[in-house]
Structure 1
């Protein structure tokens, strides 16, 4: 029997492909083995198939570059249907520096996608690999005007849009990495990468179309008339208020984030009713009595709230209502016991 005859027999009298008429549970099981690229292609097929593909694709999306993350933010911040499908939110910059060196576009090219001068270019022809393999993917290439910029650092506004829209997130992981340049045995230079500050625009001339109801400078491809009453500078810890508002959040991991403070950790611990596990290791701002431990080419901060464990244990360490001074005192005590 030929392949075409077998396919026609499988369709039977209904005239529909078998993939459309089988049970949703079976399709979910089949689709669970497919990579993101294939799931995305299934979104462009019939509605009977695209619905199951969308559920799996947006359940735990992965982002190779900040360009893909910017595309994701645009989608979920303007579509409640897709935003409500997100359960696991992970953001990491581990691959970004390598991809930028290989010529992949970043969030800047997506931001300026409607302006030909700054838009993304054709996909890169070669990857920077020893074997010089030809790149056959479809990821856009970087614009020459942005080739020397730090595209790996994401503006805080993009992450806030995603957190504000995806209200069903159960697990959030923000992992950043640092470059360590060991100058001498007494000096060390650190370069933290990850999130950067942004400007929140409150002018009526720039109405928001996003679910969050906010407009950031990173959203606008054109310049705006800046005034003290229209623009508010926001730092990376601005996302904590949106993170702590997720009522279904069960796990939080924020690694290597120097901008997080004891108040931020306390806010997350006590405002997320379903929180079970947290991980804030290697994070936190420097205080007077805190030191940087350098061993070889590794470094870590001795910060009291840079901890990992169950929410119950961490809440016992940081009770609700402590002031900044009290947090510092409690933290110093816990550090002495730990070391």
Structure 2
């Protein structure tokens, strides 16, 4: 083999197109077909692919469990770079009890990740056994100390996301939320973008019942939802905490809002009945509706403005 032919082959090899050299629009189109697991690998594969993979990964994230959602909350609430990439926030209803039955860690294990006694354990054995579709993930396993702890995701997690991700266009909440504690104390400074500290953020205990602690209900997130200037679509299902005042605030304060869906929300929608003159009549909630913002707002009185 001559020296010239070897040089030609080397030049041919080095001149082959690389994924890093492809235009950003083309990379984004390619990455749109990739699953989240592959995008996570690409984040670590090459610095040149990091941003392109992250843009697709954080655009509309999906969560395997409440543990993964807690990881996401920590990332976006402490990184403006990744928080600005989020456009769609969809939280489908996951039962923490089901995750634990499958041996998966939940947000509790993430909260106590720095305490060895309570941290997540190795993936459960039954997930590692060969199946028709073998489990190849690395999801942490549940800690046995939390086996009897079945508490829904606290509202503080969602507030952190809404406060940090200012470019969100669409929000879908079909997710069980529970109360949280808002802590305003110099002993617990906030490192999150929201500037807030919740009891769900702290792995250690704090003095409950003091003047520095305020219990907040799930509808506490509405004030942060209405501050999203680019919000276009809102869907809140199966939310007994949602009230007519909350709906008014969303309809009248989200200026770019186009469509809403509040069906199956509100306490009266829980198949409650009202007995009037010996007859049974179902409760009716006028704001538990779906449609355009204009049509829905026309059926309600003018709501409060921020």
Match of 1:256 in 2: 238
**Equivalent residues of 1:163, 1:242 under 8 A apart:** yes
Match of 1:36 in 2: 36
**Equivalent residues of 1:291, 1:302 under 8 A apart:** no
What number of residue pairs does the alignment pair up?
288
Establish whether residue 138 from structure 1 lines up as the match of residue 141 from structure 2.
Answer: no
**Equivalent residues of 1:201, 1:232 under 8 A apart:** yes
**Equivalent residues of 2:105, 2:143 under 8 A apart:** yes
Establish whether residue 105 from structure 1 lines up as the match of residue 87 from structure 2.
Answer: no
Match of 1:22 in 2: 22
Establish whether residue 235 from structure 1 lines up as the match of residue 210 from structure 2.
Answer: no
CA gap 1:272/1:136 in 2 versus in 1, 3 angstroms: same
Structure 1 Cα separation of the partners of residues 34 and 11 of structure 2: 25
Q: Secondary structure at the match of 1:160?
A: helix
CA gap 1:134/1:23 in 2 versus in 1, 3 angstroms: closer
Shift of 1:135: 3.5
Match of 1:295 in 2: none
Establish whether residue 147 from structure 1 lines up as the match of residue 150 from structure 2.
Answer: no
TM-score, normalising length from structure 2?
0.87
Structure 2 Cα separation of the partners of residues 43 and 202 of structure 1: 36
Establish whether residue 271 from structure 1 lines up as the match of residue 221 from structure 2.
Answer: no
**Equivalent residues of 2:249, 2:303 under 8 A apart:** no
CA gap 1:150/1:20 in 2 versus in 1, 3 angstroms: same
- Of 287, 299, 302, the match for 1:305: 287
**Equivalent residues of 2:172, 2:236 under 8 A apart:** yes
**Equivalent residues of 1:126, 1:132 under 8 A apart:** no
Match of 1:66 in 2: 66
Shift of 1:270: 0.3
Match of 2:278 in 1: none
Match of 1:12 in 2: 15
Match of 1:126 in 2: 126
Structure 1 Cα separation of the partners of residues 132 and 208 of structure 2: 47
**Equivalent residues of 1:282, 1:301 under 8 A apart:** no
Shift of 1:28: 1.1
Match of 1:159 in 2: 158
Structure 1 Cα separation of the partners of residues 29 and 84 of structure 2: 21
Structure 1 Cα separation of the partners of residues 88 and 283 of structure 2: 27
RMSD: 2.6
**Equivalent residues of 2:155, 2:217 under 8 A apart:** yes
After superposition, where does 1:208-227 map in structure 2 within 5 Å? 208-227=190-209
CA gap 1:35/1:303 in 2 versus in 1, 3 angstroms: same
- Structure 2 residue runs without a partner (length 5+): 1-7, 275-281
Structure 2 Cα separation of the partners of residues 102 and 309 of structure 1: 38
TM-score, normalising length from structure 1?
0.79
- Of 302, 317, 320, the match for 2:299: 317
- Of 291, 311, 319, the match for 2:273: 291
Q: Secondary structure at the match of 1:253?
A: strand
Match of 2:168 in 1: 169
**Equivalent residues of 1:125, 1:134 under 8 A apart:** no
